[in-house]
Structure 1
Amino acid sequence: MNLPEISIKRHVFAYMLSAVLVLFGIISYKDIGVDRFPTVEFPMISITTILPGATPEIIDASVTNLIESVVNSTPGIDHIQSNSSAGVSSINVRFNMDKDVNVAFNEVQARVNRVLRDLPDEAEPPVVAKIEIGALPVMWLTLSGDRTLQQLNQYARNVVKKRLETIDGVGEIQLGGELRRTIRVNLDPVRMKQLGITVPDVVQMFNREHLRLPGGFLIKEGRETLIELDLEYHNPDVLGDMIVSYSGGAPKRLRDFAGIEDGLADYRQLARFNGKPAVGLGILKVQNANTVAIVDEIKRRLNEELIPRLPPGIELGIAHDDGDLTQGVIDSLEEHLIAGTLLTALVVLLFL
């Protein structure tokens, strides 16, 4: 008995089978990820290492070449591309298409761990990550207003970012144009020479005086309390009183030969919106998450929770989002599905 014969003689069974197929289609349609482009995963791994203040030549000799030499032995490599710039070493490893990206990641990570002890002491641990094609923010928010850039940075990181990163489907929130608080100590070479103080003396003083240490436990009346010795200087005025050395019993303090500035990090990046300095927040979603649902939930929280509670003079707005474009693609697809279904039903009705 073939399919047409079953459909004619057992039409109730055919109706139920069609209904089951339609039901599974509806369930799949609701749970499917929604994005502008399909998810494509290539076997590509990136290795990023930061060595603050190092020149490209030092980065290439002491970091890039060292990591490349151990990563080269990973099986299945198709191509390696490296870049040594001021303070940063970037290595991209592309594997053959039949290589499993998770296996490649574990193999590269294991080889990088072998050379950690050989890297410069000042270098940060290398960051090994999978390269995701199209892993760009689905929405950019801007925070601006009549506040200092440091105050905007703090509000964006401590309030806006924490409120939005709990949304289901949000994988990461990047801060664009962020400049963190930095206390600078500007040494006066002439004054240092007069006082007989060298740069190594200052560095040794910071290593000895400006630090945090574990203080052990305090046990009292059956209770145990963890003690932390916070010896860091958080106030620039107090930092100036730090004693570097003694001369004839008189202390030589930091403010005697250095200017202390409470400011921001170097301007390596800048964000502006409508001609005003701003802090950008880029929302990245997890793989296969629904872009439209994430954007809609972000807009809801902005309108109901964040914008009404903004301090006076601060503005929080949307600079870009992929939700409208993705929704337009989905609407067009739904129209095509409905039109195709109606035309198919009409043809079957007329000719069968």
Structure 2
Amino acid sequence: MVHRIIEWSLRNRFIVLMLAAGLFIWGIFCVRSNPVDAIPDLSENQVIVFTEWMGRAPQLVEDQITYPLVTNLQGLPKIKYVRGSSMFGMSFIYVIFEDNTDIYWARERVLERLSTVSRTLPQGVTPQLGPDGTGVGHILWYTLDAPGMDLGEQRAIQDWYVRFALQNVPGVSEIASFGGFQKQYQVTLDPAKLLHYKVAVSDVINAVRSNNNEAGGRKLERSGVGYIIKTSGYLQSREEIANISVKNQAGIAVRVGDIGSVQMTGESRLGIFDQDGKGERVGGIVVMRYGENAAAVIDKVKEKMKEVAKGLPDKVSFDIVYDRGELIRESVQSIRHTLIEEMIVVSLVVLVFLFHWRSALSILIQIPVTIAISFILLNAFGISSNIMSLTGIALAIGVIVDNGIIMSENAYKHLAEKYAARHNSGTATGQDIG
């Protein structure tokens, strides 16, 4: 079979050269379209289910949330196993699917199952899916450089302006905020006053909740114009919360301010984010979607940052603390230099040892053609250009050249022997005639 292929190739050189040229051009297009990253994505094909139940102990979260979710999610198709983790006020479920499963198909199956399981969970508890990213999806970290600005104001800018703007960048799965204070109104009740006015904590909660609402009325037509009537009752200050009536006692309204105090503060934190020992910072983490081109997404995010920076307050700017794009460029540039150096050294060695330019040319042509074909296979199997794959290509150049040298040397040897035998036979015949 091999002899027939070689024989056919020798008799159809033009077709072989055209096929090689076509594969080379196809490979060049694949090089441009192949996703570029610094490290390969070896994470499992997983879907994360996050459930929040604040104020509950880990054992209670395990019994009433984690265990029911784990047992009900185990029957999904193409699933390998389910892992559960419970902590104070939170539950994490990691649903691991087979490697060849489409991640968005898997997320749909998990959502279908959660729609039926949610009825068995405690009231007010709603499981949520995590972002469609991977364990190596953190491609960019940034902070807000805002000297003199309150940390609560910085977090508000990050949560209500920057995060929404960067979330729209194609290829971004999530913008995770960190640092600062998340502003909230806190009502601190006095137990002695609650007992004196005979008011329960649940009465205060219901009063605040019912007064922080908006009610709709009806449509009123006057002079051919329709007016929509509504009442806006959203709370906008501490004074409004303090003036909410909780109970009527002897014709006198008992307000929230009579039984406690209202203050603007931040949510309780378990840690802080300090940058270079110069104080706390507020920022975000850009998480890339599954299977996206890391280098392209980073460039798009940076372009969006330039646009978002125009709307930031004075003296507020972005400070990038981690950029995988630099690592990607340095890694690809290092591998590219290695490939070029190897091709030059191999070319010189082949020319010196064979000392036959046609044989050397046939061997050297194999290097760019083979590298181009390797990128066709990388795209076909969904493998990105990273340190591992590019290093493998660099190491394979020696094997490619070895095969070419062996075949060329073998062919050159046999042709030389046949040429010598034919020349000797022709000389002997001429001597006999003479």
Could you say which TM-score interval applies, normalised by the shorter chain?
A: 0.7 to 0.9
**What is the CA-CA distance between 1:326 and the residue it aligns to?**
0.7
* Alpha-carbon distance in structure 2 between the residues aligned to 1:48 and 1:83: 10
From the two aligned structures, give the one with the greater strand fraction. Answer: 1
**What is the CA-CA distance between 1:345 and the residue it aligns to?**
6.1
- Over the residues paired in the alignment, what is the CA RMSD in angstroms? 3.1
Alignment correspondent of 1:91: 93
Alignment correspondent of 1:249: 251
Q: Give the TM-score of the pair, scaled to structure 1.
A: 0.84
For residues 8-67 of structure 1, give each alpha carbon's deviation from its aligned partner in whole angstroms, at most 9, with x where no partner exists. Answer: xx3xx5554444323212211111111123345634332221112222222122212222
* Alpha-carbon distance in structure 2 between the residues aligned to 1:342 and 1:242: 81
Q: Which letter does structure 2 place at the counterpart of 1:320?
A: Y
The answer to whether the aligner puts 1:351 opposite 2:359 as a matched pair is yes
**What is the CA-CA distance between 1:293 and the residue it aligns to?**
3.3
Alignment correspondent of 1:118: 120
For residues 279-303 of structure 1, give each alpha carbon's deviation from its aligned partner in whole angstroms, at most 9, with x where no partner exists. Answer: 121112233433233334444555x
* Alpha-carbon distance in structure 2 between the residues aligned to 1:34 and 1:218: 60
For residues 223-278 of structure 1, give each alpha carbon's deviation from its aligned partner in whole angstroms, at most 9, with x where no partner exists. Answer: 66666543221211121111111222121111111100111111134222233111
Contact 2:132–2:173 (Cα < 8 Å) also in 1: no
The answer to whether the aligner puts 1:281 opposite 2:281 as a matched pair is no
For residues 64-117 of structure 1, give each alpha carbon's deviation from its aligned partner in whole angstroms, at most 9, with x where no partner exists. Answer: 222223223335554332222111111223345566655544443322221212
Alignment: residue pair count? 346
Contact 1:52–1:122 (Cα < 8 Å) also in 2: no
Secondary structure at the residue paired with 1:115? helix
Percent identity between the two aligned chains = 22
Mark the CA change 1:68 to 1:220 in structure 2 (over 3 Å): closer, same or farther.
farther
The answer to whether the aligner puts 1:153 opposite 2:161 as a matched pair is no
Mark the CA change 1:240 to 1:2 in structure 2 (over 3 Å): closer, same or farther.
same
* Alpha-carbon distance in structure 1 between the residues aligned to 2:102 and 2:296: 31
Alignment correspondent of 2:4: none
* Structure 2 unaligned blocks of 5 or more: 1-6, 352-356, 361-434
Secondary structure at the residue paired with 1:53? coil
The answer to whether the aligner puts 1:196 opposite 2:198 as a matched pair is yes
Q: 1:6 aligns with which of 12, 21, 29?
A: 12
Alignment correspondent of 2:261: 259
Contact 1:34–1:288 (Cα < 8 Å) also in 2: no
**What is the CA-CA distance between 1:212 and the residue it aligns to?**
3.0
* Alpha-carbon distance in structure 1 between the residues aligned to 2:256 and 2:160: 32
Secondary structure at the residue paired with 2:114? helix
Secondary structure at the residue paired with 1:244? strand
Alignment correspondent of 2:3: none
* Alpha-carbon distance in structure 2 between the residues aligned to 1:130 and 1:273: 26
Output aligned runs, 1:165-184, within 5 Å. 165-177=167-179, 179-184=181-186
Contact 1:295–1:323 (Cα < 8 Å) also in 2: yes
Larger Rg: 2
From the two aligned structures, give the one with the greater helix fraction. Answer: 2
Contact 1:216–1:228 (Cα < 8 Å) also in 2: yes
Alignment correspondent of 2:241: 239
Alignment correspondent of 2:415: none
Alignment correspondent of 1:294: 297
> Which segment is superposed worse, 323-332 or 261-270?
261-270
> Which segment is superposed worse, 48-57 or 96-105?
96-105
Alignment correspondent of 1:187: 189
Mark the CA change 1:83 to 1:180 in structure 2 (over 3 Å): closer, same or farther.
same
**What is the CA-CA distance between 1:155 and the residue it aligns to?**
1.8
